[in-house]
Structure formats: C-alpha cells, structure tokens
Structure 1
C-alpha cells in the first residue's frame, strides 16, 4: 500500500521513501481518523498528508510530554527545519525530511510553518487563554494553518475554499479541546477561554476536582454549540475541493464532528473519560466513502485521458 502510494507520487529516492513510510506509521498509530480519511485520497497524494500529520505530531511531542516536555528542543528542531527551507542542510528527522519535500512539492508558504511553530512554542509557557479571540490567535497557528497547508494538496476549485479550510481546522481543534479537558489539566492547561469559565461560574479548581457539575455541563454545551457553528461554516468548503478530495474531507468532517456527539453520549464526563467514535462507526462512514472515492478517481482518470482523433486511421 505504501509502495503503491510512493510510486504514484513518483518519489523514488530511498531516503525520502523511508521518511514518508515513517510518517505513515506515525499517522496510522496516533491519528486513526485522520489516517483513515487520508486513504480516500488518490494514492499519489497520500504520502504528503502523512508527512504533514507526522510533522505536527513531532512538534507536539516536544511540549506535550507529561514527563519530560522540552521546549528548547522544539525551538532547535523548528529552527533546523526553517534553515533547511532556506537552503540549509536537510534535517535527519524523518518527519522533517518528508515535510520539507512536501512543502516544496506543493509550494506551501513558509509563513504557515512559522505560524505553526510559534503556536507550539506557546504551549511551553501559556496555560490558558482569557478570551476566545486570544484562543483564536493560538488556533490560527496550531489548527487553521494545518488546513491551509493541506489545501494545495486537496486542490481547491475556488478561492472561497480558503476560509472554509481555516474554519474546519479550528473546528477539529475545538473538538479535541472539548474532548481532552481532563487530559489537558494534567499538563496544567485549560484551552476553554477564561471568559467562558467566568460566564458559567466555573473555576480551575472546580475542573481539577474532576466532577462534572451542572455549571461545567452548561459550559461544555456552550463550547459544543460554538464548535458546531464552525463545522456549519466549513461544510460548504468540501464541495469546493477537487472531486477526488471530497470524500476524504467529508469523512474527516463527519467523524471529527461526531466527537462532539460522543461527549454528549457520555454525559459530558470529559474530566475522567475520553469520548471517542467507535471503530464500527468509523468504518460505517469510511467504507461507503471509499467506494465513492474510487469512482471519483476513475472518473478523473477518464477525463484526463486524451480524446482519440476520429480522423486518425
């Protein structure tokens, strides 16, 4: 499967192929929904998605470790990558190697990488955000630019897709923030805006008590509804993508959105439990999408074939 994708992408260099395979493994292990969706893209595009995921995951690991966060290492790693983008030595880290190739292949703006690294550094020192506007600044680098990095690969058919991609990245991240409140508390972080906590009479001490009170439940309901509005704005952007990209993003859209449903199904007990979309449900969404994606790829290949000249003998 990996060999087919790398061959389709015309990636022949053995070091590059090994780097992309390492990225695929990271994606398959840590981002199951994301990986499942990536498999609905044409094989030639899949390696680039794996690279971008692995790059984001690698940066995240530097500051999200519960035992040994290392923001200095993140700074050095990020600087090395940016230097390579400017023509410096190619890094050794497989995620950086593959992402460097991906950025050049798809002309992904350097500013997207810089914004992402800046937000990752914020996780080293910032443990909360006063307002939603403050959180949006963080999410621009940590989530919105992920959507913007993906966009060239997905081949938007109209400039309007850009704003929708940004919103979808934020919706995905807000879904994670809501699901992971309890886990983030272990790192001393709260990503729900302080103004929202204050509005519902919720304190950090109350969150750390790990009991979902009526006030916490109402806070989570509020955040879920806000996030669903992001999904609603982002949804029309799927139809603005190349037909061979739409089933991939529709699957991700559906399954990430259902994280919010899963939070409701466990009665908002996110302080002690992790809400998740079941494997049978993921497959029930992905399998029909895979059939549609295959038809879309076949139709695209037929359109791309040269028309035979009827005058030719």
Structure 2
C-alpha cells in the first residue's frame, strides 16, 4: 500500500463517523492529515470502549479489560514503530503527517494513556483528577490542530487547553445518563459528597435539588473555562478561526441546553441539532469580526 492509499483508508474511517466532510473548514491540503489523526484516535477509542462490562461478573470483566489494554498497547507499539514494519495503513499515513508537521509523539501517547484510563478507571476522587484526564484525552487534539496550522505560541496552547478541557467537561455533564450505563461517573466524589448526592441517587436517576445544584456548579465552572480560552479565536488565521469559533459556541450552546432542561441530565440528554447551526454560525461570524478584547494576562496569571 502506498501513502496515497493509506490516506484514503483514513478518510474512509473518518467519513464513516463524521457528519460533514473534514475538508469543509480545514481545506483540502490539510484534510488528509486530519483524517490520519482522526483514524488513529477513533480506532483507539473503539478499543477502549469495546463491549460493555457486566455488573457482578468480575472474572469476565477482567478478561475484557486485559483484551482492551492489549489492543491499546499494540496500537502504541505501532505508533512508536516509525519504520512502519507492520504496514498498517493508519500509521503509514500518521507517520507521514507526524514527520511533515513535526508533531510531538507525546500528544499521541497522552491520548492512548487516556484511553487506557477509560478501561481502568471509572470514578474520580476530585476535580483535579478529572482535569488530569482532560489534559490527556482532550487537550492533545487541540494542540495537534494548532500544530497542523503552524500556530504554536504558548498563549495559543494555553487557550486551546482551556477550550478543549471545557468541551470535554460539557460532554461529561451532557452524557451523565449514558456514562452511568457504562458504570462511569465523572462527577468528582468529593463534590458529590459536598452537595449530598450519592452514587445510589445517580443510578436511580433520582433528580433533586442537590443534584441540580451540583450540576449547576459544574456548568458554571465549565463556562468559565470556555471564557478563559476564547482569546484563542482571533489569534488564528481564517478559516481556522471560524472553525474554532463554531466549536466554542457549540460547547457553550450545550451548556445553555443543560440549563434549559433544569440541569436534569439524568433524564434528558441535550444535544445540538441542525437547526442550531444557523445560530452558531451567526455567533461565530460575530466573534471573528470583533477585535479581541482579551490580553495575555490570563496566561501570565495561570
């Protein structure tokens, strides 16, 4: 298989999952490289989530965990095999992308560490543990996008990390009911205790004022992170700034929808619809037309 066929293979993987062509906003030149990164991440994510663990069947669950970890470990060995001796098309394309854009391997190994954590860890003691997970699961993607566009200032990385972490958190609060079905809880245990919300309440879908206050607290904290990263948008070239502005407003829109359902994501799963796109586009265009009022003090103080 030659390099063009390898990139086409990655494109087919991306097309299977994506709702719109990647090249729509990133451009035809960069699209193959985005496809390669996406294919690497998508397959690893599938390995981490392969098959549900069965409640009360720890022997079988342990075997499933081992199988998942074995696949992720093999995936990492392919990543580190820069000579592509295994001839996997995803890595033929990915290694070409890594070489052309001088991408740090650590961003990819961080992603794999996060996927391993998905297999091994389903509870978080405090918010710092949740942030550490986001640092590995979400932030590398934002940084890779910046590398592809040669936008590598430290201030840009800082803002990107804020936005990516906020997007991951918004997804957690949006998907609480889905994650419960996988026996995963991303709400920090210490904060659940603080707001008097028990695991039993969650699994019984017991929505009450305590849960509402807990999730309201998480949503506000996440909104603050979005605001902290907003300054990134107008440091970027077009059309990347439009893509990031749409992403930023999409994340904020999810938080708005969580608020509109009264924070009851035990019962409802707020999500974006095609009807939201026009509103998001207007907001994004307005954002990129404004001169950024942010300065770099946020980064300096962080």
Alpha-carbon distance in 2 for matches of 1:101, 1:19: 14
1:18 matched to 2:8? The reply is: yes
Counterpart position of 1:139: 134
1:164 matched to 2:154? The reply is: no
Larger RCO (CA within 8 A; separation ≥ 6): 1
1:89 matched to 2:85? The reply is: yes
Shift of 1:23: 3.3
Alpha-carbon distance in 2 for matches of 1:41, 1:153: 10
Counterpart position of 1:105: 100
Pairing of 1:51-200 with structure 2 (within 5 A): 51-67=36-52, 70-85=67-82, 87-92=83-88, 94-156=89-151, 158-200=153-195
Shift of 1:54: 3.0
Unaligned runs of 5+ residues in structure 2 are 54-63, 289-302
TM-score (ref. length: structure 1): 0.79
Change (3 A) 1:74 1:238: farther
TM-score (ref. length: structure 2): 0.82
Unaligned runs of 5+ residues in structure 1 are 1-11, 294-313
Shift of 1:90: 4.5
Q: Structure 1, residues 108-141: CA drift from partner, whole Å, max 9, x if none?
A: 1011111111111011111111111111111111
Counterpart position of 1:301: none
Alpha-carbon distance in 2 for matches of 1:249, 1:23: 23
Alpha-carbon distance in 2 for matches of 1:283, 1:54: 29
1:221 matched to 2:216? The reply is: yes
Shift of 1:282: 1.8
